[in-house]
Amino acid sequence: DFVVKAAALALKENPGINTGFDSKKNVIIQYKTVDISLAVSVPDGLITPVLWQADYMSLSDISQEAKKLVVKAKEGTLQPHEYQGGSFTISNLGMFGVTGFQAVINPPQAAILAVGGINESALSNQGKIIPCHLMNLSVSLDHRVIDGAEGAKFINSVKFFLENPSSLII
């Protein structure tokens, strides 16, 4: 829920990431709303239910709606309006013990965020070793639409929001 909210706010700050590519017309799509698709594993593969206007949702609304959509996805009862569309996808494999991976973009979207699990680690700070928890995030980009520098700015925005959770409360 925190990652969804952080990504939604980061997309608002970095609208160049909230884009797609229409390969039939060979044009870039600039999405007007931040509609986050959630990658959900189902027996027949993968489906991506959408949290519409996620940037305006509270954390509790995101939590409730995401849980409802995941249950419906696993039961096979999603309606087309619940999984068609979306401007950006999040794929989370952390619950499977995966620490990092590269996700495949969900066309016509131009980007996807891959979320790995949180791991205990140690960092050096002014010569002292301190325990910490780290989470790997990576963004895959369609370079016909988005360049790497824009992707880096987006990841830094997500990082800021996750490291400052009070910023996620609306």
The tokens for 165 are 């959770």
Residue 24 DSSP SS3: coil
The catalytic residue among 79, 131, 143, 149 is: 143
Residues with Cβ within 8 Å of 160's Cβ and at least 6 positions away in sequence, in order, are 10, 167
DSSP letters, 37-76, are: EE-EEETTEEE--EETTGGGS-HHHHHHHHHHHHHHHHHT
Parallel, antiparallel, or unpaired for β 36-38 and 50-51?
antiparallel
Which of 68, 82, 87, 77 minimizes the C-alpha distance to 21?
87
Judge whether 81 counts as a catalytic residue.
no
Parallel, antiparallel, or unpaired for β 111-125 and 88-92?
parallel
45 dihedral zone (left: phi>0; alpha: psi -120 to 50; beta)? left
Residue 3, number of CB atoms within 10 A of its CB: 20
> Which residues participate in catalysis according to the annotation?
143
